[in-house]
Amino acid sequence: MAIVNRLSVDGRDYFLPDPVTELKNKILEAIKAGGGYVNIPPLRSGPGIDILFSPGMPVVWTQIDVGGDTDAANSGESPAATDDFDEL
């Protein structure tokens, strides 16, 4: 089971691998200080992006399981085979 974290800031989504505890603390420190830049690392490679966080800015964290359904994988069925679809 792989977990990807989604950080939503000002209507934009950034996807991050675990762990994000240190990043959450840096964002909280920047907000408590009245504002500051925090580097958001990339999901795979690259320099990341610097975001200015300030008090009152909505920040939303979501965890997404991208590992797939283990029951369907163990039964040999594809996930589409277990869904009921109406034909057009």
Number of structural domains the chain divides into: 1
pTM (global) more than 0.75: no
By residue range, what is the domain housing residue 43? Answer: 26-55
DSSP letter (8 states) at residue 33: T
Has residue 78 been placed in a domain?
Answer: no
Has residue 66 been placed in a domain?
Answer: no
CA–CA–CA angle 15, 42, 32 (5° rounding): 75
Has residue 6 been placed in a domain?
Answer: no
Q: State pLDDT tens for residues 29-87.
A: 999 999 999 999 887 888 899 999 999 999 999 998 887 655 555 555 544 544 444 54
Q: What is the mean pLDDT of residues 14-35?
A: 93
C-alpha 5/C-alpha 16 separation (Å) is: 5
**pLDDT for residue 54:** 94
Cβ-count burial 38-70 (b if 16+ within 10 Å, e if not): bebeeeeeeeeeebebeeeeeeeeeeeeeeeee
| 25 pLDDT above the threshold of 70 | yes
Has residue 40 been placed in a domain?
Answer: yes
